[in-house]
Amino acid sequence: TLAVLTLKLTVEASQKYQRIRGFGGAMTDAAAMNILSLSVGAQDKLLRQYFSPEGAEYNVVRVPMASCDFSTRLYTYADTPEDFQLLNFTLAPEDLQMKIPLLQRAQALSPRPLSLLASAWSAPAWLKTNGALIGKGTLKGVAGGKAHKTWANYYVRFLDEYSKHNLTFWAMTTGNEPTAGMMTNYSFQALGFTPETQRDWVSLDLGPAIALSKYPKTQLLILDDQRLLLPHWARVVLNDIHAARYIHGIGVHWYFDRIAPADLTLSTTHHLFPEYYLFGTEACAGWIPLDRGVKLGSWDRAEEYAHDITEDLNHYVTGWTDWNLALDMGGGPNWAKNFADSTIIVDKTRDIFYKQPTFYVMTHFSKFLLEGSQRVGVSFSAHTDLEVTAFIRPDKSTVMTVLNRSDRDVQFEVWDPATGYIPSVSPGHSILTVIWQAQ
């Protein structure tokens, strides 16, 4: 019998790629309501699972600006018609009583400053062509006009109000899923932009508003939508010198990744615009109508997460943000009945929460790939089903994540010229993280 040659994974430390920004999830209205539905002790345990050194060590939290589908009602912070000066701009009870206190508690548990990321779903109805928060609608008028200026100033007012609670934002996006607001009969909050109208709004209104505010260091991410829109969207916006100077990164969602090859979308965009980082801003399981809602203990969904994160990292993405931090047993609340799954599921009737397999997958990345970790090359001695990514951390240790979506165990050894051989085995349907310090 022939001896089976062990698969060798060689770390190519001289091949250097992008640096990590971070990993995390979203403090939606629904997430905040679910966390606060637990007893104080259980709330604290849940927050520790995500933010403390004993937990996943999330360092990114996405914060919706006003309502989204994972709210229990439709609202913005400026619902008084014709209030172009935003004199009546005010945060909602959802912010003041739920999201802000939880963000402060999360920050207190985290040894590092949290990177907060804000995204708006819709402008106030009176600023929009359709006069509603939902459905097909864009800002009234044109870039540089009164409605566009007001919507840009709304972003600054949001930063003002949160800063009063000692919460500052690393970044904001130009708006959640701009293509949704271009679709007829779209069923929840949206604001339509084409790449051209987004480019013009950034260059004439939003970019200058942030640059001239007290928050010039707050970064701006365009797109915040599916990666199949790349590289076209990036080309239109970033080839414009007036818009590009205000922009730092490109936000991508995961929902149609299966039909949008990472090479053609992410890598192409990176090579065209290497100075702008790619960042995963939203993902969740249980969103497909035929497979909707919560599935407790689903390993299939965990593997989908692990595959997508690994693929993204291997194509220049600098971080990956999950959607709701917590949902209830029905995958809500969600006023639009657009139920989904979450990495933590709360059962308030029993005052308990479940950590889903997706939670543990997220932790493989969030806990080990510290901010500033740099991706390095990996070469394979033979073809393999294993999906692998490797990083050198700021402390010079090396981390390799190995995903095996096949049914069989795979023996392998890591070869790091600086360290030697590390023998290991990847069981069928598993994810493992190997970490070592150079000798």
Write the pLDDT tens digit of every residue in 122-162: 999 999 999 999 999 999 999 999 999 999 999 999 999 99
Last residue of a domain, one of 346, 368, 390: 368
Q: Is residue 247 part of a domain?
A: yes
2: in domain: no
Task: For residue 142, tell me if it sits in a domain.
Answer: yes
Among positive and negative, which fits the CA dihedral 168, 174, 176, 181? Answer: positive
Q: How many CB atoms lie within 10 A of CB 331?
A: 25
Which two three-digit tokens encode residue 310?
Answer: 């690994």
Q: Binning pLDDT at 50, 70 and 90, where does residue 185 land?
A: confident
pTM: 0.97
Looking at residues 17-45, what average pLDDT do you find?
98
Q: Cβ(246)–Cβ(274) under 8 Å?
A: no
Are residues 358 and 383 both part of a single domain?
A: no
Domain presence at residue 325: yes
Q: Are residues 425 and 299 in the same domain?
A: no
Q: Identify whether 401 is part of a domain.
A: yes
Residue 439's pLDDT is: 67
- The encoded tokens of residue 66 equal 């006003």
The first and second tokens of residue 313, run together, are 């990292």
Parallel, antiparallel, or unpaired for β 7-19 and 327-328?
unpaired
Do residues 355 and 363 make contact, with C-beta atoms less than 8 angstroms apart? no
Q: Which of 368, 395, 424 is the last residue of a domain?
A: 368
Domain count, the chain: 2
Q: Answer yes or no: do 348 and 215 share one domain.
A: yes
Residues 262 and 408 in one domain: no
Predicted confidence (pLDDT) per residue in 266-289, tens digit: 999 999 999 999 999 999 999 999
Confidence class of residue 403 from pLDDT cuts 50, 70 and 90?
A: very high
What is the pLDDT, as a whole number, of residue 3?
Answer: 53
- For 339, left (φ over 0), alpha (ψ -120 to 50), or beta? beta
Sign of CA dihedral 369, 117, 27, 233: negative
pLDDT average, residue stretch 95-124: 98
What are the residues facing 387 on neighbouring strands? 403
Contact 415, 10 (CB under 8 A): yes
For residue 127, what is the domain's CATH number? 3.20.20.80
CB atoms within 10 A of CB 306: 25
Higher-pLDDT residue of 417, 427: 427
Q: Are residues 171 and 79 part of one domain? A: yes
> In this structure, are 325 and 234 located in the same domain?
yes
Spatial distance between the Cα atoms of 245 and 239, rounded to a whole number of angstroms? 10
- Both tokens of 32, joined, read 């905040």
349-373 pLDDT per residue, tens? 999 999 999 999 999 999 999 999 9
Structural domain includes residue 17: no
CATH number at residue 411: 2.60.40.1180
- Residue position matching structure tokens 């990164």: 249
Q: What is the pLDDT of residues 282-314, one digit of tens each?
A: 999 999 999 999 999 999 999 999 999 999 999
Q: Across the chain, how many H-helices and E-strands are there?
A: 13, 18
Tell me, yes or no, if 282 is annotated catalytic: yes
Domain of 124? 22-368
Question: What does residue 97 show for φ and ψ, rounded to 5 degrees?
Answer: -100, -20
Length of the chain measured in residues: 439
Instruction: Please tell me whether residues 60 and 168 are part of one structural domain.
Output: yes
Please indicate, yes or no, if residue 1 is contained in any of the structural domains: no
Q: For the residues 28-43, what does the mean pLDDT come to?
A: 98
Q: Looking up tokens 């402060």, which residue turns up?
A: 104
pLDDT at 419 over 80: yes
Residues 6 or more apart whose CB falls under 8 angstroms from that of 101 comprise none
d(CA 421, CA 438): 12
Which range among 2-6, 370-374, 434-438 has the greatest average pLDDT? 370-374
pLDDT class for 438, splitting at 50, 70, 90? confident
Mark whether 154 and 248 lie in a shared domain.
Answer: yes
- Give the active site residue among 57, 94, 161, 177: 177
Residues 412 and 281 in one domain: no
Euclidean distance between the first and the last CA atom of the chain, given in angstroms as a whole number: 37
pLDDT > 90 fraction of the chain, expressed in percent and rounded:
97
Write the DSSP assignment of 326-368 as a string of letters.
-EETTS---TT------SEEEETTTTEEEE-HHHHHHHHHHTT
Q: Is residue 154 part of a domain?
A: yes
* Annotated catalytic residue, options 12, 54, 94, 282: 282
Cα(389)–Cα(433) distance, integer angstroms: 10
> 235 and 98, same structural domain?
yes
Which among 341, 368, 395 is the end of a domain? 368
Same domain, 330 and 397: no
Give the helix/strand (H/E) hosting 279: strand 277-282
Residue 362 and residue 390 in one domain? no
pLDDT for position 39: 98
